[in-house]
């Protein structure tokens, strides 16, 4: 027999009983558990890693508001039509279909809707480290329309690599999207994308975090004329990170998008993110990656440091970015 969630009163009193778990909601069952806590209790987190399980369970708090997002541990067998669509230096990307959560109903059920999702499978992640958890925490905390949404975590049963279950972007990344559609781009569309990207960077900086790896491949496109989404927070760090970290741990990225001071040993900053934004603006307006005619290596770094990108500097000055 299904649990019935109703308002219940103390014997001989007009005072409503509250859920004994959250102490907030009044629609409770005979065990005095509200519909929301009952639904959350039905979610099982069994990743095999205590740190992942603890973080996921922490997002499923009884203190959540009704519409607050939460993460799930998703057995890989729940995905249908898994197909590889891309890869990078640290991960492989797949698309699949899954029934994502739409919240908890007043009957205590997890409401679901079938939808395409993306799986970001991190290479060599069988043993979860702080880097994986850092990206998971950072991606989840941004509940905004300009940052990629994370639904949960899963594990590839063959490789044992862990993966993020992410919002699917049907139009891919900005670089490839521009290459295919640049002739159809109007200035209104370019400005719309730019507003979205700026909004996402502001959301990140408002939480005192530096992205540190902004480029055309990490900006995803949801619709043709709107919704440019910032993704890949794997290298992001708090702005107050120890500046004495080793150079090896500090320097990474795609050379044309990296601020010149980084090549001089200075640390990432809000300003270095803004420089990367300038390079993305270059790409949006020209249709090409910055320095597309040059090999991305030591010579390009030296040219940038020697000020041989004068055309670029003039553009950035006109936009007030340097």
CB atoms within 10 A of CB 130: 8
* Catalytic residue numbers, as ranges: 213
Residues of the chain with pLDDT under 70: 1-2, 241-250, 307-322
The CA distance from 6 to 32, in Å, is: 10
Do 27 and 5 touch, CB atoms closer than 8 A?
yes
Cα dihedral sign for 27, 31, 37, 42?
A: negative
Question: Which domains does the chain possess?
Answer: 1-41 (no CATH), 44-167 (3.30.200.20), 174-318 (1.10.510.10)
Ordered DSSP codes for 202-223 = HHHHHTTEE----SGGGEEESS
* Per-residue pLDDT, 296: 78
* Per-residue pLDDT, 248: 45
Environment class of 235 (CB within 10 Å of its CB; exposed 0-12, middle 13-18, buried 19+): buried
Environment class of 136 (CB within 10 Å of its CB; exposed 0-12, middle 13-18, buried 19+): buried
The CA distance from 121 to 185, in Å, is: 32
Closest CA to 207 of 257, 273, 153, 262: 273
Ordered DSSP codes for 165-178 = EEE--TT-BHHHHH
Provide the whole-model pTM: 0.86
The CA distance from 220 to 29, in Å, is: 44
* Per-residue pLDDT, 318: 67
* Per-residue pLDDT, 88: 78
Q: By three-state DSSP, how is residue 81 classified? A: strand
* Per-residue pLDDT, 34: 94
Closest CA to 319 of 256, 266, 275: 275
């Amino acid at each position: 027999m299904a649990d019935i969630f109703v308002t219940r009163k103390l014997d001989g009193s007009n005072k409503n009983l509250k859920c004994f778990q959250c102490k907030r909601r009044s629609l409770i069952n005979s065990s005095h558990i509200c519909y929301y806590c009952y639904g959350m209790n039905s979610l099982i987190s069994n990743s095999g890693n205590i740190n992942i399980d603890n973080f996921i369970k922490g997002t499923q708090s009884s203190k959540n508001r009704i519409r607050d997002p939460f993460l799930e541990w998703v057995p890989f067998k729940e995905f249908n039509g898994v197909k590889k669509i891309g890869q990078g230096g640290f991960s492989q990307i797949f698309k699949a279909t899954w029934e994502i959560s739409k919240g908890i109903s007043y009957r205590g059920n997890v409401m679901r809707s079938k939808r395409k999702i993306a799986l970001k499978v991190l290479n060599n992640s069988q043993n979860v480290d702080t880097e994986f958890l850092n990206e998971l925490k950072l991606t989840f905390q941004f509940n905004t329309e300009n940052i990629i949404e994370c639904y949960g975590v899963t594990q590839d049963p063959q490789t044992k690599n862990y993966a993020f279950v992410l919002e699917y972007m049907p139009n891919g990344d900005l670089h490839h999207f521009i290459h295919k559609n640049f002739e159809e781009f109007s200035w209104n569309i370019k400005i719309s994308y730019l507003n979205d990207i700026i909004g996402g960077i502001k959301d990140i900086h408002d939480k005192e975090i530096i992205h540190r790896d902004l480029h055309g491949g990490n900006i995803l496109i949801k619709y043709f004329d709107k919704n440019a989404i910032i993704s890949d927070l794997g290298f992001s760090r708090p702005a107050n990170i120890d500046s004495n970290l080793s150079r090896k741990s500090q320097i990474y990225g795609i050379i044309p998008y990296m601020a010149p001071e980084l090549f001089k040993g200075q640390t990432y900053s809000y300003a270095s993110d803004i420089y990367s934004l300038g390079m993305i603006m270059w790409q949006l307006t020209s249709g090409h990656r910055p320095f597309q005619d040059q090999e991305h290596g030591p010579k390009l770094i030296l040219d940038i440091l020697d000020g041989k990108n004068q055309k670029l500097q003039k553009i950035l000055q006109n936009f007030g970015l340097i």
